Chains A and B, each alone.
Chain A
Amino acid sequence: MSNSPPHYDQAKWTSQSVYEPLLSEKNMTEVSLDGVPLPPNLKRSSLTLPSLSEPELARHYTRLSQMTYGVDSGPYLLGSCTMKYNPKFTEDVAVLPGCSMHPDRAPHTIQGTLEILYTLQEHLATIGGMDAVTLQPPAGAAGEFTGILIIKAFHESNGDFSRNEIIIPESAHGTNPASAALGGYKTIEIPSNEQGTVNIDALQAALSENTAALMLTNPNTLGLFELEIELIASMVHKAGGLLYYDGANLNALLGRSRPRDMGFDIMHYNVHKTFATPHGGGGPGAGPVGVVSKLESFLPAPIVIKTKSGFDLFTPENTIGKVHGFYGNWLCLVKALAYILRLGDRGLLDASAKAVLNANYLGSKIQYEIPFRPFYHEFVASSGDQDAAEVAKRLLDYGVHPPTTKWPLIVPQALLVEPTESENKSTLDQIAASFNAVLTEDQSTLKSAPNSTASARIDQTTAARFPILSWHALDPSL
């Protein structure tokens, strides 16, 4: 295999002359508000925005879409984000007649909407082994925050106001400590052991009468299954704490092990990861939260219940209140249900099996060191002497969305690789060949990458030092 990359033009217009201008550089138009029936003190004098025809806009946005790399463009190895294929038919399901309802409709007039939500609640509960589920949190981090509020309400309902600490492994997702802090908690970070899993001694030392909960991902962010999870759960419970499951890595375990059975009391699901709803350039996702029965009465209001006559909205007795203005990201929830029904038991089991097979196969084909094993659906490789961020930039030239870089910090020059179940063997072979080719390339090749993308290497420092955050702030010479 040659060391030079194949000639990809990733998300790029090849001719310099068709670089797409800003809308504001096309036809900015100032329109007066003279005809608007409001007194002068309530209305603005004019509005200045681009004024363009539909064909001009269709071309503008189509070009911009072509300068965007998605899962449908090629491999998307972004570890911990589960960038799997998003089935097309779920988009059609989310625009079926009857799917579009105002959130203030009375429950008896939207039995269909409530049945969809109830069915998804039930399926998610089954998949996680939980007793009850809320669909309200609009993202994984919102699910974490919801969980934190439930944990707090639970302890306070027991007259226990002194538990002000949440324990988090140092390799946890950044949202874990941020969500705990938003809930008013002090976070206690514990280091990993030499195997890359929870350090039992450090956990024991961190546990106290101040412990509200331990937040954990399993498999963890190194892709490793926490083999001592039962012991961990009993330690946390013995100390009076609760065990929170960050569902970011659930795609490794569907149908093989359930967070409840591992001893978790509360969990969130990332429907945009595990259940294939499209990531939409950053969102929306949804972060439903499942709980064991002793926490059910604290769930956000309302949840959907089944009654003798149909479905109804129900406010749990000790509810924490609301974490979203209405019922969460409805369209994502509908798509997630459609995905779950399409796969069924066997398909879900197969998705996880292939996700783990793909990660292991890719891991075995690349010549980078992988310090921690055995891993499941993702692994952390080290680029050694090479800078991981530079490796990532160079991988762009090989037509690959690179792994998450320089995280988790436990591995130096970390490349967190998650191929998902969507890639076939020959694509994995190509990805491995690309990694291995980059490994042999010199510093200057890496530093000058990428070369076949819409932009060359982007100057992040200037962006942060002299922020230009709207076209109003733009010097026309830029």
Chain B
Amino acid sequence: MTNFPSTQSPYTPHTPADVEAMLSHLGFESIDDLFNIPPPIQFSDSFKIQPRSEHEIKTELKGIFDKNLPLVEFLGHGYYSHYIPSLVDHISDRSEFLTSYTQYQPEISQGFLQVLFEYQSLIVELTGLEIANSSMYDFATSIGEAALLSGRISPTRTKILVPDILRSERLSVLKNYTSNSGFKIESYPTRDSNTDIEKLENLFSDDVSMIYIESPNSHGALEESIKDISEMAHASGSLCCLGTDPIALSILEVPSSLGVDIVVGDASVLGLPNAYGMGVGLFACRSDYLRKVPGRLVGITKDATNRRAYTLTLQTREQHIRRERATSNICTNQAWVALRTAIHAAYLGPHGLINLAKQCIELPLELSSKLDTIEGVHAPSHSRHHFREFVVRTDKKAMEVVQSLEVKGYAVSAIGDHELLICVTDTNSSHIDAFVDAFKEVIS
């Protein structure tokens, strides 16, 4: 690297002789001459950011990350982690995948397009719906896009029904996506961690565009009345949207056969470790809505030699063509996360997916029954079918329990004055017994 001045970015390949030859070809003396920025708005100060070596940065950032307390997380509430097989990291880090962009030139993008097509096919198999797009940003924005889709289908309807236990962050994103298009969001009641069907029925009217339900919901409970809810929705001319995830869908009744019209969720429960909330928005719907769908779609066609070929399709829905009339403003999406989801799902195969989903039922059963034996603890708080997590009721104040457990090395969430949400998956299940012991000590 001695050819290169120390003032240079390590990622610009120009030798001083190159720069000189290029400038001389252009007839300029200095690179500065290529800029004609008016003097009053030139920046002559510095950012005061010292350049560092790779080694220095790794050491420095590792030192910063070490300030995070090494707690064992029993956290879920809509964001879950499972073991990620090494195949996922190694394949997804292949630089052809990692350093490519949107497949505007399909002839040199067949590989990534095929992976996205396989991802879409996976979601189609899991949801039973005919269309899955190749990704949205995350769970919350997928709910927002679903609501907007329902509005394009029924332009005169302006109300979205959501459960009263919906995570506030998802509600906030949904409001931001829809409020400027004239939608109102209304909560419907839940009882014992499931939809209160009787009360819900009264809320349907001819201005409801979509009802949103979750299974597993934010109490970890599986919704038991999806079919009834979708029938109610359809009777009043509304759409039914289900929020879920691909692991749960591996065993749950197929949404399309329950009358669900749109499925959303975070598909990164397969493919990504905990990434401080980063995910990939799952989005699937009936084929009736094909030309109203947001996001990118990969389809199969043929090339000039009559061989199978993959391509982005129906792009006239998208912002780069339709501009202000596009079905969504999304451009850059989460394709690489979808690729990781596809690889993880393929690695597990149908047996592995079903086994992982079974664990998501068995582990909370095991943990809740152990916690339930503790005096002053009621777990789970409601007798539902739970998936990964469940609500625990404690006589002691929930925040006190959270703080005492933290001292013992565990992170859990309080969701009420006397209610905790406890999540257990394959990534923390080896700590179950120690956690139960800690819980016992904290409670007594």
Contacts and interface: CB of A to CB of B under 8 A. Distances in A.
A71 B101 CA distance: 9
Contacts of A52: 346, 349
Contact of A342 (B38, B57, B89, B254): B57
Nearest to A137: B137
Contacts of A58: 87, 91
Interface string A65-89: 1111111110010100101111101
Contacts of B314: 464, 467
Contacts, number: 633
Interface string B60-72: 1110111111010
B122 interface: yes
A281 interface: yes
B321 to A, nearest CB: 7
A325 B141 contact: yes
A328 B138 CA distance: 9
A321 interface: yes
A161 interface: no
A66 B96 contact: yes
B118 A350 contact: no
Interface stretch (A236-244, A288-296, A357-365, A436-444): A357-365
Contacts of B10: 87, 342-343, 347
Interface string B36-56: 111011110011111111100
Interface residues of A, number: 196
Interface stretch (A201-209, A380-388, A454-462): A454-462
A456 B138 contact: no
Given A139-B331, A338-B57, A178 B275 contact: no
A182 to B, nearest CB: 5
A350 B8 contact: yes
The secondary-structure label for the interface of chain B is mixed
Interface in A304-355: 320-332, 334, 337-338, 340-348, 350-351, 353-354
A23 B339 CA distance: 14
Contact of B68 (A63, A109, A421): A109
B56 to A, nearest CB: 8
A48 B177 CA distance: 35
A134 interface: no
Contacts of A181: 324-326, 329
B176 A322 contact: yes
A38 interface: yes
A414 interface: no
Contact of A68 (B8, B109, B117, B337): B109
Contacts of B277: 103, 324-328, 330
Contacts of A19: 307-308
A96 interface: yes
A147 B290 CA distance: 30
Nearest to B50: A344
Given A57-B343, A344-B49, A105 B79 contact: no
B14 interface: yes
A47 interface: yes
A425 B47 contact: no
Contacts of A103: 79, 274, 276-277
B230 interface: no
A115 interface: yes
A24 B121 contact: yes
Nearest to B361: A37
A356 interface: yes
Contacts of A361: 22, 25-26
B118 A23 contact: yes
Given A341-B57, A344-B51, A469-B130, A31 B326 contact: no
Contacts of B48: 126, 345
B46 A280 contact: no
Nearest to A93: B61
Interface in B165-210: 167, 169-170, 172-173, 175-177, 180-182
B58 A51 contact: no
A340 B71 CA distance: 30
Nearest to A427: B13
A68 B11 CA distance: 23
Given A69-B96, A324-B173, A324-B277, A470 B117 contact: yes
Nearest to B91: A61
Interface string B6-17: 111111111000
A200 interface: no
B342 to A, nearest CB: 9
Contacts of B66: 98, 112
Contacts of B324: 177-178, 180-181, 187
Contacts of A453: 107-108
A330 B251 contact: no
Given A181-B324, A230-B38, A325 B139 contact: yes
Nearest to B18: A425
Contacts of A102: 73, 75, 79, 81, 274, 276, 411
Given A19-B307, A49-B350, A325-B170, A174 B118 contact: no
B441 to A, nearest CB: 20
A63 B140 contact: no
A470 B130 CA distance: 8
A194 interface: no
B125 interface: yes
B31 A111 contact: no
A201 to B, nearest CB: 20
B345 A49 contact: yes
B334 A330 contact: no
B278 A470 contact: no
B353 interface: yes
A163 interface: no
Contacts of B18: 424-425
B336 A282 contact: yes
Nearest to A179: B329
Contacts of B222: 38, 42
A89 B331 CA distance: 27
Contact of B34 (A31, A227, A258, A376): A376
A456 B409 CA distance: 58
Contacts of A44: 251-254
Contact of B58 (A92, A177, A354, A396): A92
Nearest to B352: A51
Interface string A186-211: 01000000000000000000000000
B77 A104 contact: yes
Contacts of A369: none
B111 A68 contact: yes
Interface stretch (B156-164, B295-303, B368-376, B429-437): B295-303
- Select the residue from B25, B81, B276 with max chain A CB neighbours within 10 A: B276
A424 B8 CA distance: 14
Contacts of A253: 37
Contact of B299 (A51, A365, A463): A463
Contacts of B406: 106, 109
27 contacts: A11-B108, A31-B350, A33-B354, A38-B252, A42-B222, A62-B94, A65-B97, A68-B108, A68-B111, A70-B99, A100-B81, A112-B66, A142-B137, A178-B329, A255-B46, A276-B11, A323-B141, A338-B61, A342-B52, A374-B34, A404-B104, A458-B107, A467-B299, A467-B314, A469-B297, A470-B117, A478-B308
Q: Which 3 A-B pairs have the closest CB atoms?
A: A326-B277, A280-B336, A344-B51
Given A281-B98, A470-B124, 5 more contacts: A63-B111, A64-B110, A185-B180, A257-B43, A425-B14
